[in-house]
């Protein structure tokens, strides 16, 4: 008999590990990575946690404390993290054809186990989990946790379990299926730490006596469905070893595409707001073209911060006459939407200080599935021009050719190089490391 | 950098109606069809592995007799076993360096390829890690 098992490959403190991989002096040192605009902590190593820092804490509150305790702080460097993630997924694919990339730092892999000889299979799978761990570590320098179990939710539990192994100095790779410690560990794992259970729900569960992962696995699924939701029922069944969460080999089709960012400082001027929207629209449409999609809905939005005296949120939306991914057509619509929704000041004449703007595209269809329009609406797609545009920007660097509405290319290139305040609406990320793996000018330099 | 406006685009064009074209078979098949091989790829020459190859720029001249000059780009594989005689990137006391990996009995030596630079012979208690093995280097003419 054969049984399907799921491995979860989870990169511990992934962003920190990527930073550490290119720094000789950060081995065993506390690291944290900040969100866009150096807002708050989004990744931290266990030793940073041990110093009392937490995920989500705003940077300005702990800036001095971090410096004093010698924690290495980085702005997020998504170019680097995305490339390292791609490398890791590539290695995982060498172990199995059935890989589901769940997020930038987590993948599920399907394996089969022979249930006729469980002990022997457990030894084989444990060795496989270790091999995956060591191969990824050796090739990329990023440590991962590997856990194999009969459902995705149990693989997540097993992945939590490997954290105990790390503390004992054991390789964080485990075959959690039929593991002797499985029951005991599930009795100690708080229900709040189970995959998919929010804090609200865990409170309610605890009140009704379901305190641990083990309790939840033994609860009556029908009652859970009645009292909570179908998700809760599914989670309980998964914990009891019955697989209910589908394995998605192909990422589900994109439903919408949002591009926005906080500005490094507040903007009142329409000109710069418009440039920022143009910039995000260009990024979104480029992504659309690389995914071979067309959009039929376009929205733009802009907002002041929530903590300022005078707040404003503006939004405008338009359904397009026909699906498109042509930046020129989209920019024309965005321009019209901007005129509709931009408000300079309130009725007392106080200027709105905008801190964020962005675009959203949706209503997607594949390029290959387009039908000829019934009526000529006088809009012509320029796929060849878009191809040249994307090609030039790929070959000669981002923002080599841009729409004039975006502003000056040279300044735009500076925001990509993370030079602070190079542009009025740029992003604050003064602590960004180099893009070691994607830009020749920024590769690792070694004094010899 | 100079910015120039390439062209302004008109708002609409007349629509061109495509004609359906059928493919017509013509000519003889190429006599070389059986001899087609994939073209040379420099990645093969440098043993590039998409997951474990990283590029590193050299600053300094301690490896000049091995042909590696200031500013050269090294192609580095993190997953290869460091064999004796290979040029490696090592981390010695929290600093990167590039040297030739040699063994002397049970000890390892990181040998410079320039008489003006000393070789490094790590002592007990010094931390040593081999970050990767250099598989080649590149220099472009500007």
Residue A269 confidence (pLDDT):
84
- The pLDDT assigned to A385 comes to 86
From the list B9, B50, B98, the residue facing A446 with the nearest CB is: B98
Report helix angle A383-395 to A327-341, nearest 10: 90
Share of chain A above pLDDT 90, in %: 42
Q: Which residue has the tokens 């998504």?
A: A78
What confidence category does residue A372 fall into, taking pLDDT thresholds of 50, 70 and 90? low
- Tokens coding A63: 């800036």
Question: Which has more pLDDT, A262 or A67?
Answer: A67
Q: Is A372 on the interface with B (CB under 8 A)?
A: no
The answer to whether A90 and B51 have CB atoms below 8 angstroms apart is yes
List pLDDT tens digits, range A178-195.
999 999 999 999 999 999
- The predicted pLDDT at position A36 comes to 80
pLDDT for A421: 46
Contacts of A401 in chain B (CB under 8 A): 6
Output the pLDDT for position A419: 47
Contact B82, B101 (CB under 8 A): yes
The C-alpha of B36 sits at a distance from chain A's nearest C-alpha, in angstroms, of: 28
Q: Reduced to 3 states, what is the DSSP secondary structure of residue A44?
A: strand
CA distance A63 to chain B (A): 25
| CB atoms B62 and A448 under 8 Å | yes
Length of chain A: 448
Contact list in A for residue B73 (CB cut-off 8 A) is 440, 443
Q: What residues form DSSP beta bridges with A324?
A: A295
Asked if A446 lies within 8 A of B52 by C-beta distance, the reply is no
Buried/exposed code over B108-136 (b: 16+ C-beta within 10 A; e: otherwise):
bbbbbbeeebeebeeeeeeeeebbbbbbe
Residue A76, CA distances (Å) to A15, A54, A141, A401, A442 in order: 8, 17, 18, 26, 16
For A41-50, A220-229, A363-372, B92-101, which range has the lowest pLDDT when averaged over its residues?
A363-372
Complex prediction ipTM:
0.76
Residues A33 and A44: beta-carbon distance below 8 Å: yes
Evaluate if residue A422 carries a pLDDT over 80.
no
Residue of A90, A404, A448 lying closest to B50 (CB–CB): A90
Phi, psi (deg, nearest 5) at residue B60: 125, 175
CA distance B8 to chain A (A): 10
Residue A28 contacts B where some CB pair is shorter than 8 Å: no
Annotated catalytic sites of B, by residue?
Answer: 62, 99
Rounded to the nearest angstrom, the gap between the alpha carbon of residue A80 and the centroid of all alpha carbons in its chain is 13
Smallest Cβ distance to B15: which of A87, A88, A376?
A: A376
Contact A446 B15 (CB under 8 A): no
Contacts of A231 by beta carbon, 8 Å cutoff, 6+ apart? A196
How confident is the model at residue B7, as a pLDDT? 60
Please check whether residue A436 touches B, CB under 8 A. Answer: yes
The answer to whether A330 and A285 have CB atoms below 8 angstroms apart is yes
Burial letters for A416-426: b for 16+ Cβ neighbours within 10 Å, e otherwise? eebebebbbbb
Give, to the nearest 10 degrees, the angle between helix A327-341 and helix A270-290.
140
Write out pLDDT tens, residues B100-142. Answer: 999 988 889 999 999 999 999 998 888 899 999 999 999 988 7
> A199, A364, A339, A177: which is closest to A285 by C-alpha?
A364
With beta carbons under 8 A apart, name residues in chain B contacting A321. none
Does the pLDDT at position A371 exceed 70? no
Q: What is the pTM of this model?
A: 0.75
Residues paired with A315 in a beta bridge: A301
**Residue of A87, A148, A139 whose CA lies nearest to A118:** A148
* Residue A17 in contact with partner chain B when CB distance is under 8 A: no
Interface of B with A (CB under 8 A): 1, 3, 5-6, 9, 11-13, 15, 49-52, 54-63, 68, 73-74, 78-79, 89, 91, 94-99, 127, 129, 131
A27 and chain B in contact, CB less than 8 A? yes
pLDDT at A379: 66
């Amino acid at each position: 008999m054969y049984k399907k098992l799921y491995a979860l490959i989870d990169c511990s403190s992934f962003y920190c590990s990527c930073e550490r991989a290119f720094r000789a002096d950060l081995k065993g040192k506390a690291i944290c990575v900040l969100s866009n605009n150096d807002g708050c902590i989004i990744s931290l190593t266990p030793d940073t946690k041990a110093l009392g820092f937490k995920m989500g804490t705003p940077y300005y509150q702990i800036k001095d404390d971090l410096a004093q305790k010698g924690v290495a702080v980085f702005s997020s460097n998504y170019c680097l993290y995305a490339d390292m993630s791609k490398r890791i997924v590539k290695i995982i694919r060498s172990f199995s054809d059935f890989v589901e990339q769940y997020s930038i730092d987590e993948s599920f892999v399907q394996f089969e186990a022979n249930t006729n000889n469980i002990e022997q299979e457990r030894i084989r799978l444990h060795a496989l989990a270790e091999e995956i761990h060591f191969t990824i570590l050796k090739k990329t320098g990023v440590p991962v946790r590997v856990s194999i179990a009969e459902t995705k939710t149990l693989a997540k539990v097993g992945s939590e379990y490997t954290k105990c192994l790390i503390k004992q100095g054991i390789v964080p790779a485990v075959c959690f299926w039929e593991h002797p410690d499985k029951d005991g560990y599930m009795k100690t794992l708080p229900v709040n730490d189970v995959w998919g259970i929010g804090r609200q729900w865990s409170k309610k569960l605890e009140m009704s006596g379901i305190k641990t992962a083990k309790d939840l696995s033994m609860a009556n699924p029908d009652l859970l469905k009645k009292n909570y939701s179908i998700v809760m029922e599914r989670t309980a069944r998964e914990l009891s070893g019955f697989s209910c969460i589908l394995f998605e080999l192909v990422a589900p089709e994109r439903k919408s595409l949002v591009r926005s960012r906080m500005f490094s400082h507040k903007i009142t001027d329409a000109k710069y707001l418009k440039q920022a929207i143009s910039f995000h629209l260009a990024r979104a449409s480029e992504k659309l073209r690389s995914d071979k999609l067309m959009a039929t809905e376009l929205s733009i939005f802009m907002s002041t911060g929530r903590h300022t005296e005078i707040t404003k949120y503006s939004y405008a939306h338009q359904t397009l006459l026909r699906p498109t991914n042509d930046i020129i057509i989209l920019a024309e619509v965005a321009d019209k939407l901007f005129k509709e929704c931009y408000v300079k000041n309130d009725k007392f004449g106080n200027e709105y200080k905008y801190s964020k703007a962005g675009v959203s595209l949706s209503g997607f269809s594949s390029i290959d599935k387009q039908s000829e329009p019934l009526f000529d609406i006088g809009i012509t797609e320029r796929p060849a021009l878009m191809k040249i545009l994307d090609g030039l920007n790929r070959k000669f660097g981002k923002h080599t050719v841009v729409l004039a509405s975006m502003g000056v290319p040279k300044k735009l290139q500076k925001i990509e190089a993370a030079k602070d305040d190079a542009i009025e609406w740029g992003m604050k990320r003064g602590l960004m490391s180099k893009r070691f793996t994607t830009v020749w000018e920024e590769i690792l330099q070694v004094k010899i | 950098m100079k910015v120039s406006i390439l062209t302004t685009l008109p708002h609409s064009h007349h629509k061109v109606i495509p004609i359906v074209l059928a493919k017509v078979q013509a000519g003889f098949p190429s006599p070389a069809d059986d001899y087609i091989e994939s073209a040379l790829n420099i990645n093969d020459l440098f043993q590039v592995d998409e997951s474990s190859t990283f590029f590193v720029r050299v600053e300094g001249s301690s490896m000049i007799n091995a042909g590696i000059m200031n500013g050269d780009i090294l192609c580095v594989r993190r997953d290869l076993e460091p064999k004796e005689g290979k040029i490696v990137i090592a981390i010695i006391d929290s600093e990167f360096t590039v040297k030739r990996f040699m063994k002397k009995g049970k000890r390892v030596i990181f040998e410079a390829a320039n008489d003006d630079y000393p070789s490094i012979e790590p002592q007990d208690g010094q931390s040593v890690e081999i970050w990767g093995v250099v598989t080649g280097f590149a220099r472009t003419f500007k």
